[in-house]
Structure 1
Amino acid sequence: MFTPTKDLEVAHGIFRTQLAGLYFIASTKQSDDRGYYSELVRLPELDAIRNTPFVVAQVNIARSLENVARGIHAENWNKLVTVTNGTAFCAFADIRPESQTFGQVETVLLGQSTEALHGSFFIEKGIGNSLCVTAGPVDYIYYVDALYKDRDTTYDRAVSLFDPDLAINWPLSKEEMIISDRDKDAVTVQELFPEKYV
């Protein structure tokens, strides 16, 4: 499980992970008897470490109920994600065949519980992401740099949550998970890129 340690910090509150192009942006809460305030991300600071601007074109929200699992999905857009309600076990998989971290996985508990990380993840295009709700419902907000209706879907991928090469240690069994038909039928990374496993 990912832990944002000082040696991984590339800018104030921004941490690299073991996957190239995947960053965690920590947030802190200022709470009082009315609720709380939390600064999620400062885009100029994220842009500075990436050397390229992340220009938000669309903001989406997905609500997932207890035991729902989604993914592993990779799209041809950059994405900034956060959990604003509930807690999810998130798994990120590098399925970009040209990447130096191809085939590697990063996992994290993200959300509002005391044991979860509070913050956001920047996910570079082509990295697969998924979640499994451990305390629901989960509200998963994601900012993307392309309009859904206009985006290039050429490199969209759906990879099996249970890919043996990725070997993700999910907090729920397959039988406990609520999974869409698309995700049930998803292929393995090896089926997508057999040449990488020769």
Structure 2
Amino acid sequence: MTALQVQQTGIPGLLLVQLPVHADARGWFKENWQREKMVAAGLPDFRPVQNNVSFNRNPGTTRGIHAEPWDKYVAVVGGEVFGAWVDLRAGEGFGASFSTRLGPGQAVFVPRGVGNGFQTLAPDTGYSYLVTDHWSEAAQEKYTFLNLNDARANIPWPIPLDQATVSAADLTHPHLDAVLPVAPRRTLVLGANGQVGRALAALAPPAGGYDFRSRAQLDIADAAQLEAVDFSAYSTVINAAAYTKVDAAESAAGRREAWATNVTALASLAAACTAHDLTLVHLSSDYVFDGERTVHTEDEDPSPLGVYGQTKAAGDAIVAGVPRHYVVRTSWVVGDGANFVATMARLAGAGVDPAVVDDQIGRLGFATDVAAGILHLLALRAPAGTYNLSNAGEPVSWARVAAEVFTLLGQDPGRITPTSTAAYYGSRPGIAPRPVNSTLDLAKIRATGFTPRDQFQALAAYLAEA
């Protein structure tokens, strides 16, 4: 009996599976699909949602070549077929073909965009395929077809096509020179007008593949807008959208809005990503911690102090349930938009001498570095999980950051007056509690090969470009 094996073919992502078949005088038995064993053997964890079976009464029945907008796993459940596959995806591999005979002991994983066809070689042959999306008439409109007799693909059909049983539709499909290649799935960035969203737009590969949506274009808190998204067009969603008004979240209206965006809407987004087997990248915050520890690791239990932090902690837990996810936790974000550094620079130029708290300790997280780290994790296909990502360097106070801003702008850092958080906010109502220590441990992200810049080197570059 053959051991379970997953083998590469000449088409990237197209995998030939050798299945153990238990045979005796009565017939045979096999585990046609066994997720745990097959994923361990090298098959993608593709999570099928529908199973179809094509029954073919006579030898010579020929079907294809069809590339559907989903992954599928094909196998014979009786009889024997000659299977043929052609890469119809955009890229250098366009037009490459692979063929083999499939009996009870073989199966093939077919990635989205690879055309699939087969010809039966025995009577009463059953051809089974598991797919990762539900069939619909709308989905069928996204099929890509190739002529069975295309000269470039050069499929060596055992039974000549003029002697085979072929549908009229399959006989009229276009040849390769007339086939529009299947475009790769794209990356959807939500919250495109935020600081990290803008940084992602600046760093995204020039070849494209990214769709950027601001809140005005797609508000994830609007269930109807979210439901209208065609998630089948995407492989990855980067969620840089959030309610971030820390103090306003302490009000009745702010609390509702924070929970609606950071939790309820995120739960719907996470469910959609799970259903479509997408990678979900989600931005988290140091506010999920109370700051009692000097340095926060990824596996520290959340302990948020205020409403904003509570909603972010709840959102992290939701995203952790998505099979393919990255929770990217950052702190003290600085980018293109309103932020502490921009405020200090404005005050320095205006001749204002500000009082700045010196009892909150952490590191700056420049949006450019956060965006670069996200793109790094995606390109690396790093293991799913939570990753701390801020700039590096000695943890400092907000007052120390302000002094550095003044110094870099040629102003006297002595104009900064250090003060305590309690003195700064006084008895003003509606002020959210802040974590005293926001320093994030960066060992995990560094272990992936990503090295964040020193925060003050990044600060100097940021001010030079402002």
Cα-Cα RMSD: 2.3
- Asked whether 1:55 is paired with 2:55, we answer no
For residue 123 of structure 1, what is the aligned residue in structure 2?
110
Hey, which bits of structure 1, 4+ residues long, moved more than 3 A? 44-50, 150-155
Identical amino acids, percent of aligned pairs: 26
1:86 to 74, 79, 82: 79
Identify which of 29, 52, 55 aligns with 1:37: 29
Question: 1:142: how far off?
Answer: 0.6
Q: 2:66 aligns to what? A: 73
Give per-residue Cα distances to partners, 1:80-121, cap 9 Å, x unaligned.
1101111111110001123x4221110001125xxxxx2210
Q: Give the Cα–Cα distance (whole angstroms) in 2 for the partners of residues 154 and 16 of structure 1.
A: 30
For 1:91, the aligned partner's letter is: A
What TM-score, normalized by structure 2, do the two folds share? 0.36
Partner SS, residue 136 of structure 1 = coil
TM-score of the aligned structures, taking structure 1 as reference length = 0.81
**Residue 134 in structure 1 maps to residue 121 in structure 2:** yes
Q: Distance in 1 between matches of 2:51 and 2:38?
A: 17
1:154 Cα offset (Å): 5.2
**What does residue 150 of structure 2 align with?**
163
Moved more, 29-38 or 182-191: 29-38
- Structure of larger gyration radius: 2
User: What are structure 2's unaligned runs of at least 5 residues?
Assistant: 182-466
Partner of 1:143: 130
CA distance in 1, matches of 2:122, 2:145: 24
Question: In the aligned structure 2, how far is the partner of 1:133 from the partner of 1:163?
Answer: 19
1:25, 1:41 within 8 Å by CA — same for their partners in 2? Answer: no
Question: How far apart are the structure 2 equivalents of 1:150 and 1:164?
Answer: 30
Contact kept? 1:91, 1:131, Cα under 8 Å: yes
What is the alpha-carbon distance in structure 2 between the residues aligned to residue 193 and residue 157 of structure 1?
8
Name the SS of the counterpart of 1:129 in structure 2. strand
Provide the C-alpha distance between the structure 1 equivalents of 2:152 and 2:28, rounded to a whole number of angstroms.
Answer: 41
2:12 corresponds, among 15, 20, 31, to 20
Going by fraction, where is strand more abundant, 1 or 2? 1
| Structure 1 residue 75 displacement after superposition | 0.4
CA positional deviation for 1:71: 0.5
Partner of 2:411: none
Contact 1:73 1:129 in 2 (8 A): yes
> Which of 1 and 2 has higher RCO (CA within 8 Å, sep 6+)?
1
State how many pairs are aligned.
178
1:176 aligns with 2:163: yes
